[in-house]
Structure 1
Amino acid sequence: MSKYILQGTPKNCMKTAMLTLIVTVTSIFPLIASQGDSIIVRVTPTLDPSSSPFVRYVFPAVTVSKNEIVPNETFGCTEYRIDRLVINRFQYWFDNYKSGQRDAKQFMSDIERDAIDTTLLSPNKIKSYVHVFCGLKKAKKVVVVDADNDGDFTNDTVFEFDTLTTEKQYLGDAIGLAPLVKVRYESFSKGKVVSKYAFRRIKPFDIAYNYRNDLDRRLTVYSVPIGSRTGEFRIGENLFKVAMMFSPEGHQEDYRKPYLRIQKAEKVYDIQEAPAQMGEIVVADSHAFKIVSCNWEGTELKLLYEGYQENRVGGMENNLVPTLEGKSLNHTLINIQTLLLGKRYVLLDFWGSWCGPCIRSMPALKTLHTQVDTTKIQFIGIDYEYNTAGQASAQVQLSRFKINWPQVAELSTAQAPSSFPVILSIKNYPTFLLISPEGKVVAREIGEDGLPKIVETLRKVDLMKKQ
């Protein structure tokens, strides 16, 4: 039994956390591809948990009956409980259905929604999850995962987290601090039960969960599914790399509905752009690829080459922005194209009253507004809220920081295909978009660290006031 005491400071904290999978590929197709050609990509997995071209999802462990398993060691904890980390999600649902914990209507809905192949479900209960021990020992939070799935916690690694110093550090995308655990679970294939392994990052703290009480909060453990696959393929003289992750809605490695990125090999993945899904088109260096299919195991990916496309419309750098029109918080119409016709740049600030980094950026944004030449650039805020109460809170923040430029109102419950966040693929807040008078996205930056980068671009295009 090994023991680790975890401490440190995360390099970067983001609002959402999400799992990561990257792809290794060998492709079989001509070096010179024409529009309409199919590309078959052989995918080989490798492990590289440090790579992260996707935002990661975090899953809370499933609380179970106190009598389900009695730990053979309590590790000096005064309070503890045993939870489940679900790995084989579909089998877990099936077992719950057979035991009466999931009704038939709900399970049939599961089958239809996720296209579950029932031939891959064992008729007998198998090890679709692993147990995790979580306890409190004075100022320490103790976490032990039964990684080998043998019901014995004493032969597994003991992780201790200092609750006084590390809890705040984990409230975000602190994946670098979370220990990596290789867990054994069972799957059903070709009529046989087979043992498989999966990798999970174990997070002792997070905020994306509704706790019953403070003790529940302190004893909840989270897992981040991790795997990595990297590789590249070629179109003519252009070398491309591919990144893929399994469906983030579930715990199981099911690649039939992958999230995908394609990029020129020498470039960095743009994690600000929403990853493409089945049937959608990925554009890399103006080359367009449609995602056609991928098998369950993720060993074969099929793409359709859509050809070379210049002047693509969208919200990424070098894209031409589509028609953008919305109503302000004061119900007046705001049309971005009209502002661009005046030969002015437009800086879009996507924010929300619920977003801490957005609010913290407001003083710097206000200062920046006094430093730019407002005859050459117009600031526009895009306030994204979940309800009208949020919009009222936004008005309070605008008054507090004396923000006087126009604000477009966006409600999550009324998102049309033409709304600003949807049409420009905004997934993270704050996000800053600088649009040139020609209607092209000059810069797209994310987070509090993104604003200084916007300032650098404003200097380059001579939009700052003369000293």
Structure 2
Amino acid sequence: MRILILCLLIVFNVQSATSQEIKINLKQKTGYGPFKPEAGNILFSPPNNHPLFNTFSKLEFNNIPDDLIEVKKGIIPFDFLQFLFQSLYGTENYKFFENFKKQRSYEISNDVLSTKQIKCFVRVIFAKNTQDNPIYIIDANQNGNFNDDPIIQIESIQSLEELKNKNLKIIESSYQISNGKNTLERKIPIIVFFHRNELKYNIPSYMVGNIKNQKDIFISHDFIFPDYWVSTINIDNGNSNIKKNDIFQLDNKYYKNNGVDIRSNTLLLTEEKNNNQRFTLNNLEQPDIKSDSTINLDDYKGKYLFIDFWGSWCAPCLQELPILSSIYNEIDKSKIDFIGIAGRDEPKKVLKVIIDHNISWKNILSNDSNKLAEIFNVVKYPTGFLINPDGNIIESDLSVIELRPYLRKYKLLKQGQ
């Protein structure tokens, strides 16, 4: 079996003729399959000037046990685009939905979304019990009451890999999807836990189907986005993961991963007749946000590059910046350098973070002109790419936490680090 991911270089221009669309029927499985677990943040009520403040304030959290203290109310979204649409449709804040859809490159028609309130998220409360232990309750039956759901003590994990082996409590919640005409009923597993002293959730589910020659094909939503906005595929438990919009080669044919349609539970592939892809680094020639001087790619000739996609709006990105700064001080700058790319952001906000955190490496914006986030196919923040001196992406979807081992692997740290 031969699987080759072809989106290996930074900037590309594809000119290919589509020959056939392929739909692969999928079944949902509980667990992680061949993928690494990820975790998301529970959404709590935003400030009163946020477009979603009124939506959160109207949510009913009924019959919370009287003996709980320090109660916090939040939600876990299953289909955030639908949540925004039903919350903001017909309001003065509808533009917030439109911007979000554009920023995330959703290709879903608004016609399949519901203007009525459907159960596209689940309510959760977090509190302490009489023994001062942290607990949570998930309104899994979606009735707005918390006296008919189990009270679960929150456990802590050090590494997300522990989710594969640690026997944490799984709660199965109901939820709904709209196809524009009907509301579809679904079930989904949820795990809640502390990770590095932060409250997190994880959705241990993936899909599996069958591609040509009886090869198993696995699809991940990163265990955070069950609307499959992220649709990463893996074939026959291979070593390579193929992101949405990537073109890959299998058995001497080219295919494009167009992602999962959750309304029909199908994976959409396009068989490409040819694959004429041309790659350059030109789109990185952008003004540095701090100095306003244009980044000169000649400065990076013969070097590795670590590209960090982040945003001033992204809490995990800000939390990782001190770690990334520490790593930056450990690298051999004759062999490697860093470039930050801020996505979905504004120059003033990015500049403030750069100054406040004393970031030493250069940073540029991804915008509608250079489309860097789209070119790198970035679907989550923060995420990193390691690029070799030839311009090839040799490691992708890197987190700051796992960066050092890769820098050691390629001998890019200072001696003794």
- Does residue 366 of the first structure (1) align with residue 329 of the second (2)? yes
Per the alignment, do residues 301 and 418 of structure 1 end up closer, same or farther by CA in structure 2, a change over 3 Å counting?
same
| Larger RCO, structure (CA 8 Å, separation 6 or more) | 2
- Does residue 336 of the first structure (1) align with residue 297 of the second (2)? yes
The residue number in structure 2 matching 1:21 is none
Of 287, 305, 308, 1:350 maps to: 308
Distance in 1 between the 2:192 and 2:377 partners? Answer: 30
The one-letter code matched in structure 2 to 1:265 is: D
Q: TM-score, normalised by structure 1?
A: 0.57
The residue number in structure 1 matching 2:208 is 230
1:445-460 alignment runs, 5 A limit: 445-458=398-411
Residues 196-224 of structure 1, C-alpha deviations (whole Å, 9 max, x = no match)? 4222233579999xxxxxxxxxxxx8755
Q: 1:93 deviation in Å? A: 8.0
1:9-158 alignment runs, 5 A limit: 36-49=19-32, 52=35, 57-60=40-43, 63=56, 69-71=62-64, 73-74=65-66, 76-80=67-71, 104-105=90-91, 115-116=109-110, 132-137=124-129, 139-149=132-142, 153=146, 156-158=149-151
1:66-465 alignment runs, 5 A limit: 69-71=62-64, 73-74=65-66, 76-80=67-71, 104-105=90-91, 115-116=109-110, 132-137=124-129, 139-149=132-142, 153=146, 156-161=149-154, 166=156, 179-185=169-175, 196-203=186-193, 224-234=202-212, 239=215, 241-245=217-221, 258-270=229-241, 275-276=243-244, 280-284=245-249, 288-291=254-257, 295-307=261-273, 309=275, 312-313=277-278, 321=281, 324-328=284-288, 329-336=290-297, 339-340=300-301, 344-348=302-306, 350=308, 355-369=318-332, 374=334, 377=335, 379-384=336-341, 387-388=347-348, 390-391=350-351, 394=354, 407-411=361-365, 415-418=367-370, 423-425=375-377, 428-429=381-382, 431=384, 433-436=386-389, 438-443=390-395, 445-458=398-411
Per the alignment, do residues 65 and 346 of structure 1 end up closer, same or farther by CA in structure 2, a change over 3 Å counting?
closer
Q: 1:419 deviation in Å? A: 6.5
The one-letter code matched in structure 2 to 1:447 is: V
The one-letter code matched in structure 1 to 2:351 is: Q
| Alignment check: 8 A CA contact 1:86 1:92 kept | yes
Distance in 2 between the 1:430 and 1:187 partners? Answer: 29
| Alignment check: 8 A CA contact 1:291 1:302 kept | yes
| Alignment check: 8 A CA contact 1:185 1:195 kept | yes
CA RMSD for the aligned pairs? 5.3
Q: 1:301 deviation in Å? A: 3.3
Q: 1:143 deviation in Å? A: 1.7
Distance in 2 between the 1:188 and 1:350 partners? Answer: 35
Gaps of 5+ in 1: 1-33, 209-220, 315-319
The one-letter code matched in structure 1 to 2:232 is: R
Q: 1:229 deviation in Å? A: 0.8
| Alignment check: 8 A CA contact 2:78 2:120 kept | yes
Per the alignment, do residues 173 and 389 of structure 1 end up closer, same or farther by CA in structure 2, a change over 3 Å counting?
farther
Distance in 1 between the 2:256 and 2:404 partners? Answer: 33
Q: 1:450 deviation in Å? A: 1.9
Distance in 2 between the 1:182 and 1:79 partners? Answer: 25
Q: 1:410 deviation in Å? A: 1.0
Tell me how many residue pairs correspond in the alignment: 366
| Alignment check: 8 A CA contact 1:147 1:156 kept | yes
Gaps of 5+ in 2: 1-16, 46-55, 102-107
| Alignment check: 8 A CA contact 2:43 2:75 kept | no
Q: 1:416 deviation in Å? A: 4.7
Q: 1:248 deviation in Å? A: 7.2
Q: 1:38 deviation in Å? A: 3.3
The one-letter code matched in structure 1 to 2:138 is: V
Secondary structure in 2 matching 1:231: strand
